A = this chain, B = another copy of it.
Amino acid sequence: MANDKRMDCVILGLLSHEALTGYDIKKKLDTSLSFFWSGSYGSIYPTLNKLSKEGLIVATDSTLKEGRAKILYSLTPEGHAFLKAWLTEPVIKDELRYETLLKLFFGGELGRVGALEHIKRFEEKIKPQYELLQMIVESLKAVQEEKDHVYYLLTAMFGVETYEAYLRWCEKAKKELKKNETK
């Protein structure tokens, strides 16, 4: 069974380079991690409290010190050890749930026009994200001093590679459906 509480690990991982607030964590999820992971405040803040109680992270409450009230969290040695143990374990599962493919799979009920619609919408959603990722890869390749950069680069490269595959598929799929039209 091992460790399935993934938000715990996401948070520990993010805190391993720098102290962050819950809000910061959400932002990271919505930017750097967005194409392969997600999470909401409703799971971030409760997890932060839980990890604090467990002693895996500590709150450096900067309230009133200067500027606005915020709670910065950072890893404790125990948290660090926990993270390392989890990172070493084999991956349990990579899960994907492509609603687009599900709808397409049942395309017989939908018809060609509807199926094409879904493909086009998928394509439109992917394109800008692809371009963004491409820029990220370029900038990461340029600046490779920090040790963690290689790993950010690897994940971003994964995104670029798969998004390119998605876009190629969109083209092929549209062709295939149009070929079928004449029958």
A residues with CB within 8 A of B: 6, 9-10, 13, 16-17, 32-33, 35-38, 80, 83-84, 86-88, 90-110, 114-115, 118, 121-122, 147-148, 150-155, 157-158, 161-162, 164-166, 168-169, 172-173, 176-177, 180
Among B96, B121, B151, the residue within 8 A (CB) of A104 is B151
Contact A109 B16 (CB under 8 A): yes
Contact A108 B151 (CB under 8 A): yes
A17 surroundings in chain B (CB, below 8 A)? 108
What 13 additional pairs, Cβ within 8 angstroms, besides A87-B109, A91-B99?
A17-B108, A36-B98, A36-B102, A37-B102, A87-B110, A94-B98, A94-B122, A95-B96, A98-B158, A150-B180, A157-B176, A158-B169, A162-B166
CA distance A80 to B109 in the complex (A): 9
Among B86, B105, B158, the residue within 8 A (CB) of A173 is B158
Nearest residue, chain B, Cβ from A32: B105
Contact B161 A13 (CB under 8 A): no
CA distance A108 to B58 in the complex (A): 21
CA distance A97 to B100 in the complex (A): 16
Contact A37 B172 (CB under 8 A): no
CA distance A101 to B33 in the complex (A): 9
CA distance A150 to B147 in the complex (A): 47
A70 to chain B, nearest CB (A): 24
A86 surroundings in chain B (CB, below 8 A)? 103
A88 surroundings in chain B (CB, below 8 A)? 110, 114
Contact A118 B96 (CB under 8 A): no
